[in-house]
Amino acid sequence: MDHQGLNEGWAYDFVCTRPIGAILAAFNAAGPWQWQRVHSDFCGDYVRCRPTGRARVRVYQRCQFQAWQPGDRGGFYAELESELDAWPEVDQVFRHLLQGIGAKNITES
């Protein structure tokens, strides 16, 4: 992972049996961040949060994301962004949330 820039972005692919609405409920119940459901014509329904003014996290269900090829549409995709010094905390909290929803096959993409 390249940590050269001030703003860092990274992503995870994962598989989860829960639908996006159940993921939203589980993330909000677990804390410490507050998540909201969003709808976009391009991305479909997804969840997002802004843990701090210096970070942003979004989780998409691949089957709703129109830009992906049909063979790449299983599971979920998470985009994370933060300033360099906030990266470790944001990553740690998000990976803990993934454990809480029983996410499998978590890979950095």
- Per residue in 80-90, pLDDT tens? 999 888 889 99
- Does the CA dihedral 59-61-64-67 come out positive or negative? positive
Number of domains composing the chain: 1
**Residue 2 maps to a domain:** no
Q: Tell me what pLDDT residue 33 has.
A: 95
Domain of 69, in residue numbers: 7-108
Say if residue 5's pLDDT is above 80: no
**Residue 1 maps to a domain:** no
Q: Using an 8 Å Cβ cutoff, are 44 and 20 in contact? A: no
Q: Tell me what pLDDT residue 85 has.
A: 87
Q: E strands along the chain, which residues?
A: 7-15, 36-40, 44-49, 55-61, 76-83, 104-108
Say if residue 6's pLDDT is above 60: no
CATH classification at residue 79: 3.30.160.110
Q: Tell me what pLDDT residue 54 has.
A: 81
**Residue 30 maps to a domain:** yes
Say if residue 68's pLDDT is above 70: no
Which range is least confidently modeled, 11-20, 36-45, 85-94?
36-45
